[in-house]
């Protein structure tokens, strides 16, 4: 990755006539209103402010203490403007992928820090401006320190200016720089991932892919989670189908199937694997001298290069941090739900408190509820004896849509199929759902609350940078 310009450096050396300018403009508006739902695609939500009920004297004292504590820190910004005309003139857009990388820090207001706070995502508008073209996005704020990667080639002409206007939340600008990635791969078995939000990955133009069959990304929010977008399900299967049977499939887990044995069997439409599953798979292949597809060898190379699996001195593999998720350009009407589902697995890998809570919640279910879920996942071809797999799929299926849609989704999509596939259990399933009407909504809401509190993400909502239609 080549740094073209560091904006903090520009600020220090502006007097030396550096041609790239960074304007930081204070906004006088109140930036703590509730997020309009353009940011999340849901109904309007009010949050209110707890300070409205405090005495004026206490409010003034709190404001004074806050101002004093921030006096020696980064100045609060509610509007940013980047002048990129000089940098754009230097960019070779034919050979490099230009990206504006900036960091911000966002802290939730007090009313969103209570245990029963309703999950809300505050947002800002981002604009890429050229001489005659403008592209707009909605940027959702996650708590803590965050990195955003704006792909400057989203504009078909050189970017002259980037604006970030926020009227919904307080955030603190930290740093910015323009970076670039080579469009040409240095080696066929290597690839530096394109850093991107899941919203950018979902809509990334296929004509800009560096390979014909797939593109390789890293999730901006969790750089250790890699995302592969394939042009066809067949290419995805060449990478992951054998792995799916080895790691997850009922009656096949731990078994390496030959290509002939895999013929006619269905893998998955989208995939997720942690370093543990990948390491076990490649260790088994090495131990058995099992012939892998060239695509699987490429996957191994990419995962070793990125540290998802680590090569020990004896040649074996161990798990590193993170994992890989994938989906494809086929079944376009399901791309977003597939990506959301797999992203929930990525969050499960990376958010320890959420993962621990998911296990605790699973253990607290009644025996009958766990029986239902094991039966359902076995019906979906998962190995019901793998506890980690059960908990991981439990949260992902519940949170791949908004919590309020969980009951409708399972009732209309799966329950009737489960009854037909297992008629001997139909009466038991009916009785369980009659006596436990919140069978799906209760865990969906509870898991969603903990997920949002720890990560800023919500059920059905994993896109934090979304392009706004013209």
| CB-CB contact of 133 with 157 (8 Å) | yes
Burial class of 248 by CB neighbour count within 10 A (0 to 12, 13 to 18, 19+): buried
pLDDT at residue number 70: 41
Decide: 129 and 160 in contact? Cβ < 8 Å.
Answer: yes
Residue 422 sits in the same domain as residue 304: no
Distances 347 to 72, 283, 335 between C-alpha atoms, Å: 34, 25, 18
Q: Which of 274, 281, 287, 275 is nearest to 256 (CA)?
A: 281
Q: What are phi and psi of 22, to 5 degrees?
A: -120, 115
What is the per-residue pLDDT for 7? 37
Sign of CA dihedral 407, 412, 418, 419: positive
N- to C-terminal Cα separation, the chain:
32
Q: Do residue 201 and residue 327 come from a single domain?
A: yes
Neighbours of 19 (CB within 10 A): 12
Residue 33 lies in a domain: yes
Among 134, 111, 135, 121, residue whose Cα is nearest residue 203: 135
Q: What is the DSSP string of 118-165?
A: PP---EEEEEEE-SS-EEEEEEEPPSEEEEEEEEGGGSSS---EEEEE
Residue at 24 is within a domain: yes
Look at residue 352 and give its three-state secondary structure: helix
> Hey, is 316 helix, strand or coil?
coil
Question: CA 120 → CA 50, 77, 232, 389, distances in Å?
Answer: 15, 21, 36, 29
Rounded to whole angstroms, what are the CA distances from 69 to 62, 74, 178, 252? 11, 11, 31, 58
Q: Using alpha carbons only, give the angle 425, 432, 445 rounded to the nearest 5 degrees.
A: 125
Q: What's the pLDDT at 44?
A: 32
- Residue 65 phi/psi, 5-degree rounding, is -65, -40
* pLDDT tens-digit profile, the chain (470 residues): 434 444 333 332 222 222 333 344 333 333 333 332 333 333 333 333 333 333 344 444 555 454 444 433 444 444 788 999 999 988 898 999 999 999 999 999 999 999 889 999 999 999 999 999 999 999 999 999 999 999 999 999 999 999 998 767 788 889 999 999 999 998 888 889 999 999 999 999 999 999 999 999 999 999 999 999 999 999 999 999 999 999 999 999 999 999 999 999 999 999 999 999 999 999 999 999 999 999 999 999 999 999 999 999 999 999 999 999 999 999 999 999 999 999 999 999 999 999 999 999 999 999 999 999 999 999 999 999 999 999 999 999 999 999 999 999 999 999 999 999 999 999 999 999 999 999 999 999 999 999 999 999 999 999 999 999 87
Structural domain includes residue 136: yes
Domain tally for the chain?
3
- Tell how many helices (H) and how many strands (E) occur in the chain: 16, 17
Same domain, 422 and 459: yes
Residue 62 resides in a domain:
no
Domain boundary residue, one of 137, 152, 184: 184
Contact 358, 394 (CB under 8 A): yes
Radius of gyration (C-alpha) of the chain in whole angstroms: 24
Choosing from 184, 217, 241, the residue where a domain stops is: 184
Residues 365 and 464 in one domain: yes
Distant-in-sequence, close-in-space partners of 61: CB < 8 Å, separation ≥ 6: none
Strand duo 271-274 + 222-230: pairing: unpaired
Residue with tokens 């704006």: 150
Quote the tokens at residue 355: 């993962």
For residue 312, what are its two tokens? 């020990």
39 and 138 in a single domain? The answer is yes
| Claim to verify: residue 458 and residue 382 sit in the same structural domain | yes
55 within domain boundaries: no
User: Model-level pTM?
Assistant: 0.85
Q: Which of 350, 384, 406 finishes a domain?
A: 350
CA distances from 456 to 143, 194, 285, 464 (A): 6, 23, 39, 10
Q: Could you tell me if residue 200 is inside a domain?
A: yes
Residues 233 and 275 grouped into a single domain: yes
**Lookup result for tokens 């050189």:** 158
Q: Residue 10 to residues 87, 163, 454: CA-CA distances in angstroms?
A: 12, 18, 35
With a CB cutoff of 8 Å and minimum separation 6, the contacts of 350 are 222, 224, 225, 322
Residue 33 and residue 71 in one domain: yes
Report whether 100 contacts 180 (CB < 8 A): no
Same domain, 327 and 371: no
Do 406 and 344 lie in one domain? The reply is no
d(CA 105, CA 261): 51
Rounded CA-CA distance 360/345 in Å is: 17
Considering the domain boundaries, does residue 291 fall inside one? yes
Quote the pLDDT of residue 167.
Answer: 64
Q: What are phi and psi of 127, to 5 degrees?
A: -130, 135
Pair 242, 360 in one domain: no
What lies within 8 Å, CB to CB, of 118 at 6+ separation is 45, 47
Helix (H) or strand (E) holding 298: helix 294-306
Range of the domain at 7: 1-48+67-184
Any idea which residue has 């245990």 for tokens? 115
Q: Report in angstroms the alpha-carbon separations of 129 from 98, 159, 161, 304.
A: 15, 6, 5, 39
56 lies in some domain:
no
Judgement on whether residues 216 and 301 belong to the same structural domain of the protein: yes
């Amino acid at each position: 990755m080549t740094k073209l310009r560091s904006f903090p450096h520009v600020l220090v050396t502006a007097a030396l006539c550096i041609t790239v300018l960074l304007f930081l403009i204070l906004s006088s508006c109140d930036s703590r209103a509730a997020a309009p739902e353009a940011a999340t695609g849901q109904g309007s939500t009010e949050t209110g402010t707890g300070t409205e009920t405090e005495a004026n004297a206490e409010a003034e004292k709190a404001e004074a203490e806050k101002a004093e504590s921030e006096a020696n820190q980064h100045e609060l910004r509610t509007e940013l403007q980047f002048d990129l005309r000089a940098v754009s003139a230097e960019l070779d857009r034919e050979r490099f992928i230009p990206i504006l990388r900036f960091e911000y820090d966002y802290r939730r207001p007090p009313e969103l820090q209570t245990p029963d706070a309703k999950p809300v995502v505050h947002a800002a508008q981002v604009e890429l401006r050229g001489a005659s073209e403008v592209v707009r996005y909605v940027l959702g704020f996650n708590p803590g320190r965050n990195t955003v990667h704006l792909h400057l080639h989203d504009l078909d002409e050189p970017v002259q200016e980037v604006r970030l206007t926020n009227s919904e939340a307080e955030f603190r600008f930290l740093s910015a720089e323009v970076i670039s990635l080579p469009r040409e791969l240095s080696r066929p078995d290597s690839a530096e991932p394109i850093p991107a939000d899941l919203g950018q990955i979902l809509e990334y133009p296929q004509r800009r892919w560096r390979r014909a069959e797939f593109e390789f990304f890293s999730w901006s929010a969790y750089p250790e989670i890699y995302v592969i977008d394939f042009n066809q399900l067949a290419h995805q299967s060449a990478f992951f189908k054998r792995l799916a049977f080895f790691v997850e499939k009922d009656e096949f887990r731990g078994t390496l199937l030959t290509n002939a044995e895999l013929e006619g069997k269905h893998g998955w439409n989208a995939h997720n694997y942690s370093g543990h599953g990948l390491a076990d798979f490649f260790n088994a292949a090495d131990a058995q001298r099992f012939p892998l597809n060239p695509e699987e060898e490429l996957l191994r190379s990419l995962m070793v290069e990125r540290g998802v699996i680590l090569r020990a001195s004896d040649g074996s593999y161990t798990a590193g941090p993170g994992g890989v998720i994938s989906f494809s350009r086929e079944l376009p009407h399901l791309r977003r739900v597939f990506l959301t589902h797999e992203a929930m697995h990525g969050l499960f890998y990376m958010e320890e408190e959420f993962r621990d809570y998911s296990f605790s919640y699973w253990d607290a279910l009644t025996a009958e509820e766990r029986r239902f879920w094991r039966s359902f996942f076995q019906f979906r071809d998962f190995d019901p004896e793998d506890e980690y797999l059960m908990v991981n799929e439990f949260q992902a299926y519940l949170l791949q849509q908004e919590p309020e849609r969980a009951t409708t989704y399972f009732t209309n999509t799966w329950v009737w199929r489960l009854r037909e596939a297992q008629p001997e259990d139909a009466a038991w399933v009916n009785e369980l759902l009659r006596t436990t009407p919140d069978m799906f909504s209760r865990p969906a809401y509870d898991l969603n609350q903990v997920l949002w509190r720890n990560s800023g993400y919500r059920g059905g909502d994993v896109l934090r940078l979304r392009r706004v239609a013209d």
